[in-house]
Amino acid sequence: MFSILNNSELVKKFKKSDLIIKGGLFLLFFLILVAIFAPILAPYDPNSTSLLARLRPPLGFEKFKVGFLLGTDELGRDMLSRLIYGLRFTLFIALVGSLISMTIGTLIGVISGYVGGIIDNIFMMLVDIQIAFPGTLMALLLISVFGSSITILIFVVGISGWENYARVVRGQVIQIKNEPYVSAAQVAGAKPRRIILLHMLPNIASPIIVLYTFGISNVILLESSLSFLGLGIQPPTATLGSMTGLGRDFLSSYPHICVLPAIVILLIALVFLLLGDWLRDSLDVRLQRK
Amino acid sequence: MRFVIIRTLRAFLTIWGVITLTFIATRIAGNPIDNFAPEGLSNEEYNYLMEYFGLNESYFVQYVSYFKGIIEGNFGFSYFSFQPVTEVFFSKLPNTLALFGYAFLVSLIIGIPLGIYAAIYRNSILTTFIMALAFTGYAIPNYILAIFAILLFSFTLHLLPTVGLETPYHYIMPVGCLAMSMLAGKIRYSRSAMLDVLNEDYIRTARSKGLSERIVIFKHAFRNASMPIVSILGLQIAGFIAAVVLVEAVFAIDGIGNLIVKAAIFSNYPILQYGVMLWGSIVVLATLLVDLTYALLDPRIRVN
């Protein structure tokens, strides 16, 4: 399945790609590195408050004062450190959350497509229900019932979006079920598990990877909008969404508190979209539309 | 006919599934009264509340009576105001509908012509701009767009008010932000629908007959492309609740979105249940309508 990642053709296509794509991928790489090395890079503790250094604007907007590159928030916490840690949190939730929905969706899609019959009908019924149940509403309902914690948040964003994987994977499996190499494996006596893992999954990996990339972008937006509404991880933990949401109160006089995290959300969702778009074109995947 | 019946049955089964899942989800976490009731409630008052909302019955009895209520048009009462949830919803509906209606119209009037233009003149500079606009609308979450808009139009230029919906000026920013996110889909889908049609043989035939380009585009191509475009418009409604929740939160608009968020924060389950059910039904019925229209127009689908 991962042979696709060290695909030399992909490298070739990357070298030929637009400046925007190259810039986007480098930015993505950079943001991931920042998130990984957050404890080393952050100049201050993201949650330590300082009453004397409250509401300081970013460097260059205020004369004769140094110390906070991007200023401080209403409690005197360093914006740069909070952004770095917020990015780390957001990325972590997005990567793990989309991994969950990918696993559930792929599993259901493969079983549905391979087995068919009544099981297929039941699973597709579930997909229909999930489509009628928009991610945001489901997230609001579940958070309202279970309270908000990191586990719940990951779970909530993890089960939203599985239906996309299930539908696409099911379609792909049905398409390749009658290919000669699958029949050959069946005739040779291979068990369904072996056929699915070794013969089918590697052949349908491309659309799954593309969906995963778009999924990350969706999850980032879902998580940040929940946190923005005050339903995500509770303060003082920094996430980009909650920083934007809480910073809204200071928008008229201290816009940097709200605008900086908003820009980071925008950038990170954008680079994953770019990556997804590029992967889709380069791997030549045609995703079926709703 | 068989197709219509099966498809309709499936739609109702889906709505039933949504209702049941919502019911289960709101009951597994325990008693909602414990979540919202103030501390120091006397036993008597507690029991009164339990009885009032029917929470002292077994889950099965609660489920049956909840279901019966839905069929009779009784969707329960708000845990706080004790009003019927339908009443609460309908008092907030006008704001949300106005917001959605204007945004939908604006995105329709701008989006579809731009999409058609982008399909016809694939290599023009304007097309690059249109597609960039579509990508921006798709990539920028609308609450972030709203924040930037407030910063620019209210706090820097002092042109537009920031909260509420009192005057026509109040509508400009929220409608604009909502329309922007809907615009992206409309441009992309109408462009790709037009591109599909423009490659068809009958377009080449029409051109070779010597018809003017204008007639080819509007009579032959657009009419055939309008079907997929209309179906997408129906399905676009599904994603709209998320956008509305956020836009209403940013601009402090007293509508359905804010109602649902508040219900989620304060565990006001009857409101949430009704919201989810209403939304699920709208999505399912929109999809059903699209499918049935398709089947009516295209006999091949009926056979499968």
pLDDT at A153 exceeding the cut of 80 = yes
The lowest-confidence range among A63-77, B156-170, B234-248, B264-278 is: A63-77
Percentage of the residues of chain A whose pLDDT score is greater than 70: 88
What pLDDT is stored for residue A46 in this prediction? 75
Angle, CA of A195, A198 and A200, to the nearest 5°: 65
Between A148 and B112, where is the model more confident? B112
Between B254 and A12, where is the model more confident? B254
Backbone angles phi, psi at A60, to 5 degrees: 100, -20
Pick the residue from chain B with its C-alpha nearest to A136: B242
The lowest-confidence range among A60-69, A89-98, A116-125, B17-26 is: A60-69
Percentage of the residues of chain B whose pLDDT score is greater than 90: 0
Q: Which of A149-158, B53-62, B81-90, B160-169 has the highest mean pLDDT?
A: A149-158
What pLDDT is stored for residue A100 in this prediction? 93
What pLDDT is stored for residue A288 in this prediction? 45
pLDDT at A224 exceeding the cut of 90 = no
Would you tell me which residues 209-248 of chain B have a C-beta closer than 8 angstroms to some C-beta of chain A?
235, 238-239, 241-242, 245-246
| pLDDT one-digit tens code per residue, A267-279 | 888 888 888 888 8
Contact A132 B267 (CB under 8 A): no
Rounded mean pLDDT, A243-265: 83
Q: How confident is the model at residue A61 (pLDDT cuts 50, 70, 90)?
A: low
Who contacts A80 (Cβ-Cβ below 8 Å, separation ≥6)? A42, A43, A44, A68, A69, A70
Rounded mean pLDDT, B65-76: 77
Percentage of the residues of chain A whose pLDDT score is greater than 90: 6
A133 contact residues in B (CB cutoff 8 A): 18, 21, 276, 279-280
d(CA A153, CA A139): 8
pLDDT at A84 exceeding the cut of 80 = yes
Q: How confident is the model at residue A183 (pLDDT cuts 50, 70, 90)?
A: confident
Q: How confident is the model at residue A107 (pLDDT cuts 50, 70, 90)?
A: very high
Q: How confident is the model at residue B199 (pLDDT cuts 50, 70, 90)?
A: confident
pLDDT at B304 exceeding the cut of 60 = no
- Among A131, A140, A262, beta carbon nearest to B147: A262
What pLDDT is stored for residue A103 in this prediction? 93
Pick the residue from chain B with its C-alpha nearest to A268: B139
* ipTM of predicted assembly, 2 dp: 0.79
Q: Say which residue the tokens 């960039």 belong to.
A: B132
The lowest-confidence range among A59-73, A120-134, B49-63 is: A59-73
Please say whether the beta carbons of B50 and B37 come within 8 A.
no
Tell me whether B46 touches chain A (CB under 8 Å): no
Please say whether the beta carbons of B277 and B16 come within 8 A.
no
Contact B272 A228 (CB under 8 A): no
The lowest-confidence range among A1-5, A97-101, B140-144, B186-190 is: A1-5
**Sequential DSSP letters for B147-205:** HHHIIIIIIIS--S--S--SSHHHHHHHHHHHHHHHHHHHHHHHHHHHHHHHTSHHHHH
Distance from CA of A143 to the nearest CA of B (A): 7
What pLDDT is stored for residue A102 in this prediction? 92
Who contacts B252 (Cβ-Cβ below 8 Å, separation ≥6)? B163, B164, B258
pLDDT at A289 exceeding the cut of 60 = no
Tell me whether B280 touches chain A (CB under 8 Å): yes
Contact B242 A225 (CB under 8 A): yes
pLDDT at B236 exceeding the cut of 90 = no
pLDDT at B132 exceeding the cut of 50 = yes
The lowest-confidence range among A72-86, A171-185, B226-240 is: B226-240
Rounded mean pLDDT, B77-102: 82
| pLDDT one-digit tens code per residue, A256-266 | 888 888 888 88
What pLDDT is stored for residue B3 in this prediction? 78
Contact A141 B272 (CB under 8 A): yes
Pick the residue from chain B with its C-alpha nearest to A144: B264
pTM comes to 0.83
A128 contact residues in B (CB cutoff 8 A): 10, 14, 17, 284
Rounded mean pLDDT, A195-221: 86
SS3 at position A78: strand
Kindly report the average pLDDT of chain A as a whole number: 81
What pLDDT is stored for residue A290 in this prediction? 34
pLDDT at A5 exceeding the cut of 80 = no
Between A186 and A48, where is the model more confident? A186
What pLDDT is stored for residue A1 in this prediction? 45
Please say whether the beta carbons of B78 and B271 come within 8 A.
yes
Rounded mean pLDDT, A157-165: 86
Distance from CA of B81 to the nearest CA of A (A): 18
What pLDDT is stored for residue A99 in this prediction? 92
What pLDDT is stored for residue A59 in this prediction? 66
Rounded mean pLDDT, A58-66: 61
A269 contact residues in B (CB cutoff 8 A): 139, 141
pLDDT at A178 exceeding the cut of 90 = no
pLDDT at B261 exceeding the cut of 60 = yes
- Among A125, A140, A143, beta carbon nearest to B17: A125
Contact B14 A145 (CB under 8 A): no
Who contacts B241 (Cβ-Cβ below 8 Å, separation ≥6)? A134, A136, A137, B257, B279
Pick the residue from chain A with its C-alpha nearest to B248: A229
Contact A141 B29 (CB under 8 A): no
d(CA A258, CA A272): 22
- Chain A residues with CB within 8 Å of chain B CB: 125-126, 128-129, 131-138, 140-146, 221, 224-225, 228-231, 244, 248, 251-252, 255, 258-259, 262, 265-266, 269-270, 273, 290
The lowest-confidence range among A63-77, A231-245, B157-171 is: A63-77
